[in-house]
Amino acid sequence: MAEDGGAAVTAAEADEIERAAEAALRPRRLAEFVGQRVVRDQLSLVLEAAVARHRPPDHVLLAGPPGLGKTTLAMIVASEVGAALRLTSGPAITHAGDLAAILSALQENDVLFIDEIHRLARPAEEMLYLAMEDFRVDVVVGKGAGATAIPLSLPPFTVVGATTRAGLLPAPLRDRFGFTGHMDFYETGDLERVLHRSARLLGIELDAEAAHEIASRSRGTPRIANRLLRRVQDWAQVRGTGVADTAAAAAALEVFEVDPRGLDRLDRAVLRSLCTRFGGGPVGLTSIAMAIGEEPETVETVAEPFLLREGFLTRTPRGRVATAAAWAHLGLTAPEGGPSRLFD
């Protein structure tokens, strides 16, 4: 049976199982964090300097596509400086009052992780500037003309913000971060190291060729690599020899519809709609998202960065355009004078 057991599980339970499996594989210290050498070196300097000065580190912004390790790094920041971590997210803070409650409960040196910080509501954003710069929050008491702002000073703390869309952050907020780490997709070799580490933690025997096969189909993303490893583990235990070998990897990846270039259903749906419904583009992101029944943000943050990087898609001022590689990958013929003409 698969790791989520034979009994029916709800979608929420399945999510919970995935989250727990993910949490068990998180590196706890910077030295265990594989890849992202530039960000790791920069962060290591910032954290060591803060520890030497006995002061909380500067606020840190982590930018990059989902699943590259932003939450993991936020946890590492807290553990490296021996601080407690508080977690929240932009969408969870619907009123400035929610943020005021979180800020006023902070203890000295705490690390406050704000995921999807680009989705903070404007009044909360303004409150955050003040808190990050002056360690102060104005608590508004009363309503209308009688409302008064009572300043409340906060202990020194560190904000670690994560965003998939750094461009959406207003400049005043971006400027309050002393350090921005730009996270990029992982090289296959780094993902192989992530997989070997995860296999050890999961108690799976993983051979080198299988690790390479899984890594090269993981879209440069450790979260995906770990998820595929668990599916290969399922296949190996149920249908194979128990060892995550090349046969298990190839079979499991086929079952879960991950193609040899690492494209999954969403990626292929984006490319297919671009080619077959919109003649290869140019077409707007919203039209593509509507055609495949997805949110524009999902297409933009989950599928598009990988498709751009792999050269299946380009962005032009008039919209998204499928490249010759996209047509070829789908086994389709580009229209006469097709994509190449569009790049003139």
Among the listed residues 35, 56, 240, 339, the single contact to ligand ATP using CB under 6 A: 35
8 A C-beta contact, residue 83 and residue 109: yes
CA-based nearest residue to 184, from 304, 72, 65? 65
Instruction: Mark whether 70 is an active-site residue.
Output: yes
- To ligand ATP, the closest distance from the beta carbon of 55 in angstroms equals 26
8 A C-beta contact, residue 84 and residue 57: no
Instruction: Mark whether 115 is an active-site residue.
Output: yes
Piece of 66-74, 134-142, 203-211, 249-257 that binds ligand ATP (CB under 6 A) = 66-74
Q: In whole angstroms, give the CA distance from residue 211 to residue 25.
A: 16
Q: Does 223 bind ligand ATP (CB under 6 A)?
A: yes
Site residues for ligand ATP, 143-182, by CB under 6 A, read 162
8 A C-beta contact, residue 216 and residue 262: yes
| Residue nearer to ligand ATP on the CB measure, 50 or 162 | 162
| Residue nearer to ligand ATP on the CB measure, 67 or 305 | 67
Q: What is the CA radius of gyration of the chain?
A: 23
Q: Does 25 bind ligand ATP (CB under 6 A)?
A: yes
- To ligand ATP, the closest distance from the beta carbon of 64 in angstroms equals 7
Q: What are φ and ψ of residue 97, in 5° steps?
A: -60, -35
**Active-site pick, 119, 174, 223, 268:** 223
- To ligand ATP, the closest distance from the beta carbon of 71 in angstroms equals 3
Binding residues for DNA: 315, 320
Q: In whole angstroms, give the CA distance from residue 55 to residue 62.
A: 21
Write down the residue that tokens 């399945």 correspond to.
14
Among the listed residues 39, 56, 60, 67, the single contact to ligand ATP using CB under 6 A: 67
Piece of 64-72, 167-175, 279-287, 303-311 that binds ligand ATP (CB under 6 A) = 64-72
Largest CA distance in the chain: 74
Instruction: Mark whether 164 is an active-site residue.
Output: yes
Binding residues: 25-26, 67, 70-72, 133-135, 176, 186, 223, 315, 320
Alpha-helical segments (H) within the chain = 11-24, 37-53, 70-80, 96-104, 122-134, 171-175, 188-202, 208-216, 222-238, 246-255, 265-272, 285-292, 296-298, 304-309, 324-330, 338-342
| Residue nearer to ligand ATP on the CB measure, 15 or 254 | 15
Among the listed residues 47, 68, 215, 228, the single contact to ligand ATP using CB under 6 A: 68
Helix or strand (DSSP H, E) at 114: strand 111-115
Piece of 27-35, 102-110, 137-145, 318-326 that binds ligand ATP (CB under 6 A) = 27-35
Q: What are φ and ψ of residue 108, in 5° steps?
A: -55, 135
Paired tokens of 288: 């593509």
Q: In whole angstroms, give the CA distance from residue 208 to residue 48.
A: 35
Q: Does 66 bind ligand ATP (CB under 6 A)?
A: yes
CB within 8 A of 21, min separation 6: which ones? 3, 226, 230
What angle is formed at CA 109 by the lines to CA 108 and CA 113, rounded to 5 degrees? 115
Instruction: Mark whether 71 is an active-site residue.
Output: yes
| Residue nearer to ligand ATP on the CB measure, 139 or 166 | 166
Paired tokens of 289: 């998202």
Paired tokens of 13: 């339970």
Q: Does 296 bind ligand ATP (CB under 6 A)?
A: no
| Residue nearer to ligand ATP on the CB measure, 225 or 283 | 225
Site residues for ligand ATP, 225-254, by CB under 6 A, read 226
Piece of 70-78, 125-133, 238-246, 304-312 that binds ligand ATP (CB under 6 A) = 70-78
Among the listed residues 106, 159, 169, 194, the single contact to ligand ATP using CB under 6 A: 194
Paired tokens of 223: 């979260």
Give catalytic residues, as residue numbers.
Answer: 70-71, 115, 164, 223
Q: Which residues bind ligand ATP (CB under 6 A)?
A: 22, 25-27, 33-36, 66-72, 162, 194, 222-223, 226
